Chain A
Amino acid sequence: MDLRELYQDVILDHHKKPRNRREMPEASAKASGHNPLCGDRVSVFVKMDGDVLQDVSFVGTGCAISQASASMMTDCLKGHTRAEIERVASAFQQLVTDEHASMPEGDDLVEKLEAFAGVREFPSRVKCASLAWHALRAALDQPGDTVSTE
């Protein structure tokens, strides 16, 4: 396994130049995720407009995988509905855990995330990739909760 299959250019790019990395004072909900094993921390802020995710941002510290995952997640989900977000989140979870996962063809939202497929070859890093997504789901479910990947 080549390291660059895990650390693809797009992941390194998001790690070095994270998108939507900011606090959001006007957020309608916020949730934090923590991986006590490695110390990764991500807080996700969401601002809903009815059923639509009007704005989403994150702050946190952690490895390249966890921070790039948070950055790409916010980048790709802004402006989408809860149902779409749920579909993408499920597809992402499958992508990073199931080697037989095949991504829906022609689904632009999901295709962007395929850079994370290499994560499944590194079981200890799956939690890193999933952390922001768990926090996002918690933020969408009920505000203010801390989720742990443990």
Chain B
Amino acid sequence: MSPEAAHAPARVKFDVEAVRREFPILDERIHDQALVYLDNANTTQKPTSVLETLDEFYRHQNANIHRATHLLSERATAAYEGARAKIARFIGARETGEIVLTKGCTDSLNLVAQSFARPRLKAGDEILVTWLEHHSNIVPWQLIAQITGAKLHVVPIDERGDLTLEDFEKHLTGRTKIVSVTHISNALGTILPVREIVELAHDRGIPTIVDGAQSAAHLPVDVQAIGCDFFAFSSHKMYGPTGSGALYGKRRWLDEMPPCQGGGDMISTVSFEESTWAPVPHKFEAGTPNIAGVVGFGAAVDFLRRFDLDEVAAHEHDLLEYGTARLAEVPGLRIIGTAARKSGVLSFVMDGIHPHDIGTVLDQAGVAIRTGQHCAQPVMDRYGIPATARISFGIYNTRADVDAAIGPLHDVRKLFG
């Protein structure tokens, strides 16, 4: 890659109105009303720079990568590898080769489970997760637990949807072989102290994985500071395209891990007797990848790098506090998840009213929220509720967006109360 490719874009002061102008979808009309998009933990909208990068790629750079001598292939390869370098820089990887490009965070977690954890586990070993995990940080471990005889062990959460380091430490045993925790709970917004959790695990020689799906676009992430062995994240939750994501892994682990899929582009030599693998990270990237998606992911990272993510986090925290106060005005509404350290997620229920009905009423007012179990059924079970309604903030949201949700919530009360 060229040094320019990973060069940081010029920093700009965060200005939410300027940011909003970069997202054309915010001009969309929903049921004849202005779109108010409050479903960012589900997926985020895309800025013009990402849309133009995708268009530019298909118009002027499209070819397969790493495979041909023609100029277009060189352009495509440079764009793809350039994106990898940007992503590596964004999360503080030591080297570009520590970034494996995947289909998304789920794909990344499955890759670690199958390729890193599975060969290290035997019957009776424990994989430690928390009660806050998304299904994608539960089910991949269950799949390898079935094969290896290892057990999934879960650190409980308290009524606020939080856990203390003391609680966590109690669940680290001599049998714990893998620790895999979410950075931010998608269902409740709880921010876990991942640096301290990693330290506790490393004190005992246990490798750690952090699910960063909900954090990478909402607070500054530095994998060196966290110290984790792996960090998984998705482009589409970071204002980039769907179908693209990454797994950061420490080089020494990636070097020793066997590939999980075989095919083109991941090999060094192939004969019918034996094949040898391409070096890290390519040995994990069999087949033609989502090239445009990765290039768009790089553009999304460029978009985010223009801002001081501490400023963005402060903006989203202001929305969280404002939203928490405004939701309290709605009779019979209860917020689920009240941890001391929270990201911009407001999960709530209303007495006697199912979240699905809340979602439909808000949608008619142009307000998009998520309703359901948020792929976190154990969290719902913990509170004895079937589902929640969830408001989740992104970089372009404003206090006016919060206000737009409050009127319809009073309508919900009138309609079903």
Kindly state the separation between the CA atoms of A145 and B183 in the bound complex, as whole angstroms: 39
Q: Give the contacting residue for A38; candidates B31, B364, B387, B415; CB below 8 A.
A: B387
A37 to B370: give the CA distance in the assembly, Å.
Answer: 11
State whether the Cβ of B287 lies closer than 8 Å to any Cβ in chain A. no
Stretch at the interface among B55-63, B295-303, B349-357: B349-357
B361, A38: Cβ atoms under 8 Å? no
Q: Mark A102-113, 1 if CB is under 8 A from B, else 0.
A: 000000000000
- Could you tell me if A122 and B360 are in contact, using CB atoms closer than 8 angstroms? yes
In chain B, residues 361-383, which have Cβ atoms closer than 8 Å to a Cβ of chain A? 361, 364, 371-373, 377, 380
Task: Give Cα A63 to B372, complex, Å.
Answer: 11
A12 lies within 8 A of B372 (CB): no
Tell me, rounded to whole Å, the shortest Cβ–Cβ distance linking B336 to chain A: 13
Apart from the given pairs A38-B373, A63-B354, 5 other A-B contacts in the complex at a CB distance below 8 Å:
A6-B360, A62-B356, A64-B416, A65-B357, A125-B356
A33 CB to nearest chain B CB (Å): 13
B407 close to chain A: CB less than 8 A: no
CB distance from A34 to the nearest CB of B (A): 10
Distance in Å from the Cβ of B396 to the closest Cβ of chain A? 24
Mind listing 24 A-B residue pairs with CB under 8 Å? Answer: A1-B31, A3-B361, A3-B364, A6-B360, A12-B415, A12-B416, A16-B416, A36-B373, A38-B356, A38-B386, A38-B387, A39-B373, A39-B386, A39-B387, A40-B386, A62-B356, A63-B354, A63-B356, A64-B354, A64-B416, A65-B356, A65-B357, A66-B354, A66-B356
- Collect the chain B residues with CB atoms within 8 Å of residue A37's CB: 372-373
Which A46-99 residues sit within 8 Å CB-CB of chain B? 61-67
B356 in contact with A40 (CB, 8 Å): yes
Q: How far is the CA of A3 from the CA of B359 in the complex (A)?
A: 12
Binding site of B, secondary structure by majority: helix, strand, loop or mixed? helix
In the complex, chain B residues whose CB is within 8 Å of the CB of A6: 360
- Pair A41/B386 contact, Cβ less than 8 Å: yes
The B390-417 residues at the A interface (CB cut-off 8 A) are 415-416
Which residues on the A side are within 8 Å of B356 (C-beta)? 38, 40, 62-63, 65-66, 125, 128
Name the A residues within 8 Å of B355 (CB-CB).
38, 63
Cα–Cα distance between A43 and B126 once the two chains are bound (Å): 36
CB-defined contacts of B380 to chain A, threshold 8 Å:
39
Q: Nearest Cβ distance between residue B136 and chain A, in whole angstroms?
A: 15
Residues from chain B with a CB closer than 8 A to the CB of A41 are: 386
Q: How far is the CB of A1 from chain B (nearest CB, A)?
A: 7
Q: Mark B residues whose CB is within 8 Å of A.
A: 31, 353-357, 360-361, 364, 371-373, 377, 380, 386-387, 415-416
> A134 in the interface, Cβ–Cβ < 8 Å?
no
Residues of B within 8 A of A39 (CB): 372-373, 380, 386-387
Taking CB atoms, residues of chain B closer than 8 Å to A3 are 360-361, 364, 415
Q: State A6–B360 Cα separation when bound (angstroms).
A: 10
**In the docked arrangement, what's the CA distance between A1 and B380, Å?**
32
Q: Is the CB of A64 within 8 A of B387?
A: no
**What's the nearest-Cβ distance from chain A to residue B297, in Å?**
27
The 4 closest A-B pairs by CB, nearest first: A39-B386, A63-B356, A63-B354, A39-B387
User: Within the complex, what minimum Cβ distance (angstroms) separates B359 from chain A?
Assistant: 8
The minimal Cβ–Cβ distance linking B356 to chain A, given in whole angstroms, is 4
* Residues of the B chain whose Cβ atoms lie less than 8 Å from the Cβ of A7: 357, 415
Given A1-B364, A39-B387, the answer on whether A64 and B372 have CB atoms closer than 8 Å is no
Q: Tell me the nearest residue of chain B to A60, going by C-beta.
A: B386
Residues of A within 8 A of B360 (CB): 3, 6, 122, 124-125
Distance A108 CA – B98 CA, assembled complex (angstroms):
68
Q: A1-B364, A12-B415 are in contact. Are A38 and B371 (CB under 8 A)?
A: yes
Q: How far is the CB of A17 from chain B (nearest CB, A)?
A: 12
Q: Is the Cβ of B357 less than 8 Å from the Cβ of A64? A: yes
Q: How far is the CA of A61 from the CA of B377 in the complex (A)?
A: 15
Report A35 CB to chain B, min CB distance, Å: 9
Minimum C-beta distance from B69 to chain A (A): 48
How far apart sit A128 and B373, CA to CA, in the bound complex (Å)?
Answer: 15
* Residues of chain B within 8 A of A67, CB atoms compared: 354
The answer to the question of A15 belonging to the interface, with a C-beta cut-off of 8 Å to chain B, is yes
Q: Measured between alpha carbons, how far is A95 from B377 in the docked complex, in Å?
A: 32
Q: How far is the CA of A38 from the CA of B372 in the complex (A)?
A: 4
Which of B357, B372, B416 is the most central at the interface, judged by chain A CB atoms within 10 Å of its CB? B357
Report the bound CA distance from A70 to B373 in whole Å: 22
B226 to chain A, nearest CB (A): 33
The answer to whether B415 touches A62 (Cβ under 8 A) is no
Taken together as a complex, chains A and B put the C-alpha atoms of A22 and B372 apart, in Å, by 25
A1-27 interface (Cβ within 8 A of B): 1, 3, 6-7, 12, 15-16
For A64, the chain B residues whose CB sits under 8 A away are 353-354, 357, 416
* Nearest CB of B to A123, in Å: 11
